[in-house]
Structure formats: C-alpha cells, structure tokens
Amino acid sequence: MASLLSPIKDVHSERRLFIARVILSSVVSVLLLGFVIVRLVQLQVVDHELFAEKSQGNRVRIEPVPPIRGLVFDRNGRVIAENLPAYQLELIPEQVGDIDDTLSRLSGLGLIEEEEIPRFKELSRSGPRFKPVTLKFRLTDEEIANFAIQRPRFPGVDFRPRLVRHYPNGSAVAHAVGYVGALSTDDLERLDPAAYAGTSHTGKTGVENAFEADLHGDAGYRHLITNARGRQIPSNTSELLDTLPDDLTPEPGDNVYLSLDLDLQLVATQAFEGRRGALVALNPNTGEILALVSAPSFDPNLFAVGMSTSQYRELSENPDRPLFNRAVRGAYPPGSTIKPMLALAALETGATNLTRKSFCRGFFQLPGDDHRYRDWKPEGHGPVDISDAISQSCDVYFYEISVDIGIDAMHDYLSRFGLGMQTGIDTGGEHEGLVPSREWKRRSFRDRDDKRWYHGETVIASIGQGYMLATPLQLANAIAAVGTRGKRFKPYIVAAVEDPLTSSRHLTQPQPLPDVEISSDFYWDNVINAMNDVLQGERGTARAVGYGAPYRMAGKSGTAQVITVAQDEEYDELELEERQRDHALFVSFAPLDDPQIAVALIVENGESGSNVAAPIARTVMDAWLGYDDAP
C-alpha cells in the first residue's frame, strides 16, 4: 500500500539533469565559438598576407602569347607564305569540368567533327592543362554568332583572334615551300613546351619544317585579370597589374627569302596541264633552286586552317598521290638521260673514243647469248659514233660500250655526278636513288644466285633501266654539272634569312661539291655539242622542240619502261592502261656556252621524253631567259 503512494516523477533529479545539459551545451558552444574566433584571427590577421597573395593569384592568369610566324618570300620579294587574322575556337583543359561532355556538345552544334573528338581529348591530356587546345582554326561569321549565344554553357571554351598561315598561290608552291599543320602529340613530345606555349601550328614539310627554328620565333606572356569563373574581365585600374612583373613581348620569327622565282614556278606548274610528274630547275653556277614542281599538288591552306579526318583521307588515299613530293622523293629509272654522263665515263676509261663507230641494226646480243637487247628504233640507226649515239639516243651503241666499261666503273663515274646519293638540299627529306654495283648487289640480296652480277644487268643499266633509280632533283644537279664542265654545287632553296626587327639578312653562300674531273676538254666539248644536236641538230630526237630557238641549248630525252615486255613482243601504247605506259624524261641546260638554268623533269606515263617532256623544259628555259614568246 505504501508503494502505491510513492511519487511518479523525481522533479529534483530531472532539474539537475537539465541544468547539467545546459551547462555542457554552453561550454561546448563557448569552446566552438572560441575556436572560430581563433581561426578567424589566424586567417584575417596572422595569415593575411599569404591568403591575400593567393587571392590575387586567383584573379590574375598568366596567358602565353604566341609569336608571329616569319613570312616567306620568293627571290624578288613576293609573298609566298603570310599570316592572316582569323577567329579560332579554343579549349583550356583546366577550366573545363567534363571534357568528354563539352566536346560532345560542341560536335552537336556542328562546330567540330565527331571523328575528331578522340584527337582533341588526347591533345588536352598530353600538354599542359593551362595551354589552349585549338578545336577549329578558322570560324565563319555564322559559327561565331551561333557559339556566342551558347558560350555560357561552355566554360573554358572561347573563340579568340589569331593569325592563320596563308599561301596566296596555294598548290603551285605546296611541295616547294611545304605547309604548317596543327600540333600533334608527337610534335608536343619533341618540341620545347615553353617555346611553343600558345602556339597551335608547326611546320610539317619543306621549308616550313626545315627552317622551323627560324620561322617560329619566341613566345611571350601577359597577365590577365579574371573573375571567379576564370574569364577575363576589364580592368579599369592598374594597381594590381602594377604589382606584377612586366609582360614579356613575343619575338617574331625570322623572314625567309627563297631562291625560287614565283613567275617561273607558276609557268612550270601550268606547263604540266594536269599530268603527273615533277620538275626541278636550278642555277648551275650556284645550286639555287629556281623552280620545284610536283604534280598533282594540293592546297596547303587546308592544313593551315585544319581539315577533318575524312578530308585528309581523301588526299592521302588519292591514287595520284598529291601529297607525295615527286621532285625530291620520287625515285624513277632515269632512262637515256644518263647517256651524256655515261659517254664521258666511256671516253675516260677508254671503252670508246671520239672516232669509233658502231653499226646499229636495232638490237644487241652478248657473246654466246641469243637474248636480244632492243633499240628504241626497230630498224636501227646504222653507223653511229658517240655524238650520233647521244643526239639520236642509240641504245645499241651504249649496250656495246657498257660491256667494256663494266658496272663498277659505271657506278663510280655516275656517282661523281651525284647520282645514287642525296644531294644535301636544305629542305631534306630526299630519296637517295640508286646506282647499282657488284658490291651493292652482294649486300642487298640473300640468295646466292641473286647476289651475282650478270652481264645483262650491265647492259640494261647503260640505258638507265634495271635497278637504277634517280630523283628529278638528282638529275637536275647532274646535268648542271655537265653544263658547267664538272663544277658542282649543293642545291639549296633558302637564299636568305632576315631578322624582321633589324632587317639584317644572313645570305646563303653557294657550297661547292667535288668537281667531276675529266682529263680532256675535247670530251666535254663533244658531249655538250651532241646534247645541243639533240635539240638543234638535223637528226636530234627533240629537234622539233629546239627548232627556231633564239639561243643554243643542250638536252637529252629519256623513256623509262613501267612494265616489262618479252623480247619478241611489242605493245601498242594505245592499248595499255594509262598508268602502264612509259615515263617520259628530259634533262637540259641553256645557254649552251654559259648555262644559266638547268632543268630536269619527268612526266609519269608520258610515253615520249622528246614529244612530251622536252616541250615543258623548253617553256621553262624560255621563261627564265626572257624568251617567253619564242616559238
């Protein structure tokens, strides 16, 4: 009964518990408030200078300023490569939250190609994250307007005014000058990141690549005031900027002057009239390249403004190979164009002399061999001496003397003219060609029988067939040495490099190469006069081309087979597919007594060096010597 009378609540106990909790909460609150006050004092007073500096650093962004790329001029000061203003779309990786999503949305707007997204992602990962990645190099007015509306949705992406490389003459100079293209991941690995900060392009081929160090210049930087989103804001006060180091002004790249003559380049380009082939014209007395053509060509401006993968694939998979520089890298059988050099070798070695005559009946046979090595003229040339053999291009005469010369002596003398080796042109990237020898064959083949050199291989090498290969540049350099009677110079295309700030120029000096030493001037006279007869003699193979010329010239035609035909068979050129027809070659120099220009060219599948290639050489020589209206 007493238990029923005990109180339900212990008021005093609950009051003590409540008071204890209030005291504990108050103490915790005071402690927390004290901690906050102490932290605020530390941030606002003790570490004020540190965080003030960091705050200012968040407001200031250092932006690289790319240098202005140097200009390229021809020998007369006409612009070949320049820089034009354009707006390009750029992405700064460190300011973009989700690069995949950003690129996908830009593709949806039609500003970039979907197939280009993987490349842009790789570029954004491979370089410094503060460095802009160019997504499109030249925006149209419509694209600028469309993106301006959408810009708030794309933090870290903006369009900026830049200078874009431009080639006024387009495809006419593409292989001679080269082109610039967007920096690739490979470029970023081999180039100095500091020097190329802010730069989107680099030279890829030709002069643009070989003289990249001169043309590029040195990058600078500037300080920008930005908001919390990292965008530049106008600064009406200079107090903050006054506390910063001075901006570094970029130094422009050097200007480059070429030895090319733009008028001659255009004449040579137009002379091909849609054919495939290449031409090199140079000054025999210095080695200056006057014209360099590879046809067909391409528009280098496509690389400068950026092209899609599909556009590049269309160029690279074109069966006519417009991206291939035939003038420097194209290796072709030289055909009969080597006969003047081989004639000099025969005279020097005693394999023939100035009076020896052979009877050409249209074919040649080695002793004990029934195989017939045919002449281009089935009925034969009759009795011919060395001059006739050159002017009429008698194959049988050279078949006969080749046996006496031997392949190793042929290799020795042709190499003295620079065949079978790189010329050392300042743009680089050339094919070395091939002049075969016994030693070369031993090194190049595995099977024992293949290592042996056969007399028949010497015979066909005497007319520039078989294993023999040469580039148009090598042939131009070799025939120039004939015109100068053995004086040789290293070919070059850059005549001077100019500092744009001081206008001082560093001129390229002609670099002599070892002379071709021939024991008698009579040998030179005979061969050069025979080459004159090719164009201006009564029975020369290209007399129709040289007829009526106001100056004396020398030349040699050549034809190189593309397919092999059995000795007892003949083929009709009209029945062959166009790409299976013979190549047409021609080498020449003029004037005869004081050469000012040497020309070598090939017309792929042109069939006849005299009828197809020689007229192009005559057109180029007329233009250079000032006889453009000559018949």
Give the sign of the dihedral formed by CA 253, CA 257, CA 260, CA 263.
positive
Burial of residue 226 (CB within 10 Å: 0-12, 13-18, 19+) is: middle
Give whole-number Cα distances, 302 to 69, 86, 305, in Å: 18, 14, 6
For residue 534, which phi and psi values (nearest 5 degrees)?
-55, -40
Q: Which residues contact 115 (CB under 8 A, 6 or more apart)?
A: 308, 309, 310
Q: Report the candidate in 77, 604, 581, 582 with the shortest Cα–Cα distance to residue 293.
A: 604
Contacts 24+ apart (CB under 8 A), 82-86: 82/165, 82/166, 82/167, 82/168, 83/163, 83/164, 83/165, 83/166, 84/163, 84/164, 84/166, 85/161, 85/162, 85/163, 85/164, 86/137, 86/138, 86/139, 86/161, 86/162, 86/163, 86/164, 86/305
Query: At 213, which amino acid appears?
Result: A
The residue to which tokens 């387009």 are assigned = 170
The residue to which tokens 């609540």 are assigned = 9
In the set 124, 200, 294, 336, the catalytic residue is 336
End-to-end Cα separation, the chain, in angstroms: 146
Query: At 201, which amino acid appears?
Result: H
Separation of alpha carbons 519 and 328, rounded Å = 32
Residues in the chain: 631
Rama region for 330: left / alpha / beta (φ>0; ψ in -120 to 50; rest): beta
Separation of alpha carbons 382 and 400, rounded Å = 14
Separation of alpha carbons 256 and 298, rounded Å = 22
Q: Which residues contact 197 (CB under 8 A, 6 or more apart)?
A: 64, 66, 128, 131, 219, 221
Which H or E element spans position 557?
Answer: strand 554-560
The residue to which tokens 């062959």 are assigned = 576
Active site residue 336: yes
Contacts 24+ apart (CB under 8 A), 149-153: 150/109, 153/105
SS3 222: strand
Burial of residue 383 (CB within 10 Å: 0-12, 13-18, 19+) is: exposed
Q: Which residues pair with 161 in a beta bridge?
A: 87
Separation of alpha carbons 492 and 499, rounded Å = 20
Separation of alpha carbons 514 and 487, rounded Å = 8
Separation of alpha carbons 28 and 619, rounded Å = 100
Catalytic residues: 336
